[in-house]
Every structure is written in structure tokens, then in C-alpha cells.
Amino acid sequence: MNSTDKLFLLDAYALIYRAYYAFIKNPRINSKGFNTSAILGFVNTLEEVLKKENPTHIGVAFDPSGPTFRHEAYEQYKAQREETPEAIRLSVPVIKDIIRAYRIPILEVSGYEADDVIGTLATEAGRQGIVTYMMTPDKDYGQLVSDNVFMYRPKHSGGFEVMGTEEIKAKFGIQSTAQVIDMLGLMGDSSDNIPGCPGVGEKTAQKLVTEFGSIENLLAHTDRLKGALKTKVEANREMITFSKFLATIKTDVPIRLDMKTLVREEPDEEQLRKIFEELEFRTLIDRVLKKTGTSPLPASSAAPDPYAGTLFAQPAATG
């Protein structure tokens, strides 16, 4: 391990969905009638990170096909979500080909979500003193943040925000990042269809976590609650405990942190060009491939990024 190591772990589907919906009012369609919005947005995001942050190590985590342990425990997990748009389904294999052409490892473990894979690798990297950034817009990753592990979160206004322990504690109004799980267990999470305790919103959850520290301590001392809140919590003990289980990102997935395989490599430019030409990403070809030398530049001397600070504000051209 080197003290200058900087590991980036990307949550693929979260970033792909974000890219697709960023273009929803003005989708990118090429001459073959193929919607390239998700692919273009994802590649621009990846390029922005490689140029701005110059990671020494990088990996992209995907959810596997088929159910995960959460679906097996709770049939309704994420059941409220609409079916994956066809444009995203068709884009994912192409995005995986692009990631391989960048020579970036794809991280996927059957039965576990990308969150759990990233959670396991980031926790181990943090333990080893490796500065690690989890790139995702999903707030539940806040529970994994520690001294060496940060969230690298795309902002709605463009660009990114880096969230460490103090930022996570301030965002949720809690005393430790681990309490993000207790917050989600109480207030639920509509994006994942985690029920939480009926009638308990963010403010009440925050108050309870501040007072009791954890869901386990709250449920052991419900005699200290009063009125309707006491009734709600006592009537939903099992639901609250189960919601905490669903909201907990695993850190013991069967995957090993191998920094050698995560070392950032030079991309296969020939393969990238082939894919970009097929997709008609002319602007990307000019920006990514038509440059002198391909060595990653140090952050201080990196070429200016025309899309810096405007994450998905690409020009109207197809690519």
C-alpha cells in the first residue's frame, strides 16, 4: 500500500439511471434509432472522475442478475420500482464493454447488490488506510463513511460533493455514521421500499436516534416513550428490526480486496474508438482519444475538462 493510493468504487446502476434520466427531456438518439443517453452520460461521468480526481485504483460495481439476499428475505424489496426502461437494459452490455475497454475491473457477486460489494471493499480498504471514494448518489452509503472512506456524490447542480464523517453526521443530525442505518430502519426508504415504522418520519427518527442511540436500545426501552409514538413503535417492533436489516449494507461479501487488480491501466484505445464510432460519439472520440499521449496526467496538470462542473450538461450533438 502506498500513502498516495486513491481508490474509486463506482455504483454502476445508480450512475446509469442518473445519466439516463438527466437526458429524459432531450434523449440522445443516434442514426440507428438507438437511445445512447445512459451510455453517454455514464462515460462522461467516468471521464470527469478520471481527469479531475486521477485515481490510482478504480473498480465499477454492478448488481447481479437474479434476486439478492434482500429479495429472498423480503419479496416486496424494491417492488414499487417501475420495470427497467428498455433503453437502460440495452445500454448495460455496451457500458460493460466500454468499462472493459478502459481496462477497469467489473465487480459483481451473485446474491449481493453493488452496495454490499462496495461496502465490503471500501471497509477493508479503509481499514488498511487506503483513501477510498464511493461514487454514488445514494444516501444509504453514508453508513459506510469513516476516516478513510468518503462518499463522492454527484450534485443536482453539476459537479460532485465529497462527504466525510462530519458531513454525513450533519446531514442526518446524528452522532455517528453507523446511525444512518437506524435512521433508515425507523423512517424507511421509499426508493428501496423499506417500510420502517409507520408514522415515523425523518424528524421523529432523528429524535429517537439522538435519545436512544440505536434501534436495539430504543426497543429495549419503549417504556420511556409516551402516547401515540409508544403505541406505533411497540406495535411495529418486528417491522423496525427487519427494516434495519434491509437497510444495512453488508461488509462481509465473499470478495477479496486485491489492489493489484484495481490498479488504473491505460485504456484500449482501439477498442474504445471502435465502440464510440459504432455509437456515433464523435465529440467523445475527439475529447477522449484524439490527444497527444495517453498517460494519466497528474491532477495539477490535467487538461481542462470542458464539462467540468456540469456533470450532464453536454452539448446537443449526439456524442
- What pLDDT is stored for residue 193 in this prediction? 77
Q: Which CATH class is domain 1-169+250-319?
A: alpha beta
User: What long-range pairs does 235-238 form, CB within 8 A, spacing at least 24?
Assistant: 236/197, 236/198
Q: Do domains 1-169+250-319 and 179-247 have the same CATH topology?
A: no
Average pLDDT in the 11-16 region? 94
**Could you tell me which residues come within 8 angstroms of residue 21 by beta carbon, excluding any fewer than 6 positions away?**
none
Cβ contact 303:63 at 8 Å: no
How far, in whole angstroms, is CA 276 from its chain's centroid? 25
**Could you tell me which residues come within 8 angstroms of residue 195 by beta carbon, excluding any fewer than 6 positions away?**
188, 239, 242, 243
Residue, of 150 and 299, whose pLDDT is higher? 150
158 to 153, 300, 306: CA distances (angstroms) = 10, 21, 13
- What pLDDT is stored for residue 191 in this prediction? 72
- What pLDDT is stored for residue 66 in this prediction? 75
| Percent over 90 (pLDDT), the chain | 72
Average pLDDT in the 233-246 region? 92
Our CA dihedral for 148, 153, 49, 178, rounded to 10 degrees, sits at: 20
DSSP state, 214? S
How far, in whole angstroms, is CA 12 from its chain's centroid? 7
- State which amino acid sits at residue 297: L
Beta strands in the chain, from DSSP E residues, in sequence order: 6-11, 57-61, 106-107, 131-135, 149-154, 160-163
In the block, residue with C-alpha cell 487488480: 261
> For the structural domain made of 179-247, what CATH number should be given?
1.10.150.20
Helix, strand, or coil (residue 44):
helix
Q: Which residue, among 134, 105, 139, 110, has the nearest Cα to 122 in the 3D structure? A: 134
Residue, of 97 and 290, whose pLDDT is higher? 97
- What pLDDT is stored for residue 189 in this prediction? 84
Q: Which region among 47-51, 77-81, 126-130, 203-207 has the lowest average model confidence (pLDDT)?
A: 77-81
215 to 143, 226, 228: CA distances (angstroms) = 15, 17, 18
Most confident of 152-156, 181-185, 301-305: 181-185
Burial of residue 172 (CB within 10 Å: 0-12, 13-18, 19+) is buried
Does residue 219 register a pLDDT over 60?
Answer: yes
Q: Please report, for the chain, the start and end positions of each structural domain, with discontinuous segments joined by +.
A: 1-169+250-319, 179-247
Does residue 52 register a pLDDT over 90?
Answer: yes
